[in-house]
Amino acid sequence: MKIQLNLTIICFLLLSTLSAQETRPIWLDDLPIKSFSEGIPAVLGKTNAAGDPLRIAGTTYPHGVGVNSTSILAFYLNSHAQSFSALVGVDDEGNKTLPHKFYVIGDRKILFESREMKWGDPAQKVEVDLQGIKRLGLLVKINDEGINRTYSNWADAKFVMLGNHLPENMPNTDEKYILTPAPGKAPRINSPKVFGARPGNPFLYTIAATGQAPINYSAKNLPQGLRLDPKTGIITGSVAQKSTHQSILRAKNKFGKATQRLTIKIGDTIALTPPIGWNGWNSWARNIDQEKVIASADAMVKMGLRQHGWTYINIDDAWQGQRGGPFNAIQPNEKFPDFKGMVDYIHSLGLKVGIYSTPMITSYAGYTGGSSNFEKGELPDSIIQNKRAYRYVGKYRFERNDARQMAAWGIDYLKYDWRIEVESAERMSAALQQSGRDIFYSISNSAPFAKVKDWVRLTNSWRTGPDIRDSWHSLYVSAFTLDKWAPYGGPGHWNDPDMMILGNVTTGSPVHPTRLTPDEQYSHVSLFSLLSAPLLIGCPIEQLDAFTLNLLTNDEVIAIDQDPLGKPARLIATENGVQIWLKSLADGSYALGLFNVGDFGQTPQSYFRWDDEQPLNFTLDLTKLGLNEKYQLRDVWRQKDLGGFSGKFQAAIPHHGVVMLKIIAN
């Protein structure tokens, strides 16, 4: 009986082992492939990056994934994969001159490296053993420098997986550590210290203050024509003549009082500090509607963001209906039944409202644009159904119509989106300035650097690169490479690296928590603030967790972004994998960011996260930055004084993390 029982157990164990080792192929294009992409352009399954059949050297492949530019696909296999195979090469519609290299990297080891491949080369075969591999990266490296149509393919690509396992997204489970202390009960004023408006145009400025409610607001030396609501801190009205005023803002509650000087400049220049607020695209994309916009405005107040100076509620693409109304302008679609009422409500909260448009016939999401091939601007169903074919500026243009309608609604911000050319930018710039309202003018995307002087002349901000994705690679390209743009940013005109990729985002795949690690998120907010960049939250505000809310409500970090001098930081040096960014501030002090970028982009392995990265012990020599005196250093994230330093300062910087300091001369 005992022998029979033992044989039964052995047979059961053998069968279990055999079952566990059963394998099945998984085509790469049957996975939700966009969710695995950490590159910038989208990746597509079963087609090339343009949406056409996968084709390498004349051979068409029914399975595979088409990618564009440098492509990063990251998979968590956790030792549940047996192998990976593919045929790789440059797509027949791709660039005909640039060389491509393909890599398969497992747990930091290069398992496959292709030859240099060019257009017309036959596909190269990939076969790698993945037994025991936990983290896998598929990399296509191209030195494209912004060149379009650098298409390449992982054709007939498939995993052989063990049992019922599937590749998973790379885990992002690092501790969400909170550095910034909670605000005190006494008032602190956090709104910008300088504000610009044009003569005679409506004026809206909200005194942002933390502290226990109720807070009573007052102001001294406001210019004639402005009035302050003492309960809300909202300043409205208009000032007739060009002038400059030095006002004193006050906030008082039972725990104390705070004052702040506000310089009001009535003249030709608005946007004297970068805008900070929210944009709806990476939250809701095409599903945006009036209810969600109002919920976002309410959440900005209820979550306390308004108290820290967050101001704009910006509606992106997909609000547009057909032309009509008194100006024959773009009207809202059925998702926005009371557009003017919505705008008025948001203004009553002390917030501002932005919308989206384009000079093209159709927007990127396929809605009515600012031009048409029909005299009255109609957008028939035939165009909507073939929207991609109408992404160009039409024969008839309606900038003045649309700008007048925006002003009538009370719009404060316009995101103007297309592959930018100066003529369209100039027409809308003139229309906005003649509208009778101060409307912040932001052009998007990938503004050509060669035309930067035109963007300074015509707009309030310009997108310096492509649409951002929630990956370190995208953040690095969007922000860590902006030093050449720095001389052109300043009061009235700002370099814009795109929305913030914090919280729950929809960049390239269904809504999901950002793939940036907590350390990378601190770097993200720090560098955007040092760059004097617009700060536009790209996630549903009502879904903010405590960590993300803490990232967005550090008043000392925000003050660096909103500094009245408006001078973007410069990349002073790169030492031992640390980028050193230094920013001059209006009070004579400096803001400094020490970013541990490691060897990112220098090796194939550096494009991926392997879960064995370590902090870097770094010694900063202040004298190399031209800072030769003794200075008081303050950790702005912890809001903590570190003491006096001259010469050298030592810090441990997390991988892809930051140490952010304020440097004050004794």
Which of 527, 546, 566 is the last residue in one of the domains? Answer: 566
Per-residue confidence (pLDDT) for residue 419, from 0 to 100: 80
Same domain, 292 and 390: yes
Alpha helix (H) residue ranges in 586-656: none
pTM, entire model: 0.95
Question: Is 221 part of any domain?
Answer: yes
Same domain, 261 and 285: no
Same domain, 294 and 400: yes
| Catalytic residue, candidates 467, 496, 519, 561 | 467
Is residue 665 a contact partner of residue 589, using CB atoms and an 8 Å limit?
Answer: yes
Question: Is 6 part of any domain?
Answer: no
| Catalytic residue, candidates 91, 92, 107, 417 | 417
Structure tokens at 250: 């006050």
How many Å apart are CA 579 and CA 658, to the nearest integer?
10
Range of the domain at 255: 188-266
Residue 30 catalytic? no
Is residue 499 a contact partner of residue 544, using CB atoms and an 8 Å limit?
Answer: no
Domain count, the chain: 4
Question: Is 10 part of any domain?
Answer: no
Structure tokens at 108: 């930091």
How many Å apart are CA 246 and CA 269, to the nearest integer?
17
Structure tokens at 56: 């390498």
SS3 string, 162-228, reads ECCCCCECCCCCCCCCCCCCCCCCCCEECCCCEEEECCCCCEEEECCEECCCCCEEEEECCCCCEEE
Same domain, 340 and 303: yes
pLDDT in tens, 318-350: 999 999 999 999 999 999 999 999 999 999 999
Q: Closest Cα to residue 65, out of 98, 88, 96, 39?
A: 88
Which regions in the chain score pLDDT beneath 50? 1-3, 5, 11-19
Per-residue confidence (pLDDT) for residue 6, from 0 to 100: 58
How many Å apart are CA 210 and CA 187, to the nearest integer?
5
**Per-residue DSSP letters for 425-475?**
HHHHHHHHHTTTS--EEEEES---GGGHHHHHHH-SEEE-SS---SSHHHH
The CA-atom distances, in angstroms, between 508 and each of 146, 158, 319, 379, 435 are: 20, 22, 20, 27, 36
397: buried, middle or exposed (CB in 10 Å: 19+, 13-18, 0-12)?
A: buried
Is residue 512 a contact partner of residue 505, using CB atoms and an 8 Å limit?
Answer: yes
Structure tokens at 445: 């995307």
How many Å apart are CA 619 and CA 598, to the nearest integer?
15
Same domain, 228 and 350: no
Question: Is 241 part of any domain?
Answer: yes
Structure tokens at 329: 């302008």
Residue 563 catalytic? no
User: Where residue 537 sits, what CATH number does that domain have?
Assistant: 3.20.20.70
Question: Is 153 part of any domain?
Answer: yes
How many Å apart are CA 313 and CA 326, to the nearest integer?
25
User: Where residue 630 sits, what CATH number does that domain have?
Assistant: 2.60.40.1180
Same domain, 262 and 285: no
Same domain, 311 and 256: no
User: Which position has the token pair 């795949």?
Assistant: 509
Same domain, 249 and 283: no
Question: Is 172 part of any domain?
Answer: no
Per-residue confidence (pLDDT) for residue 41, from 0 to 100: 85
Question: Is 7 part of any domain?
Answer: no
**Per-residue DSSP letters for 223-244?**
PTTEEE-TTT-EEEE---S-EE
Helix axes 472-479, 518-530, angle to 10 degrees: 10
Is residue 80 a contact partner of residue 161, using CB atoms and an 8 Å limit?
Answer: yes
Residues 6+ apart with CB under 8 A from 110: 103, 104, 604, 605
**Is the alpha carbon torsion for 80, 86, 92, 96 positive or negative?**
positive
Same domain, 445 and 558: yes
Same domain, 114 and 214: no
Same domain, 345 and 432: yes
Same domain, 339 and 482: yes
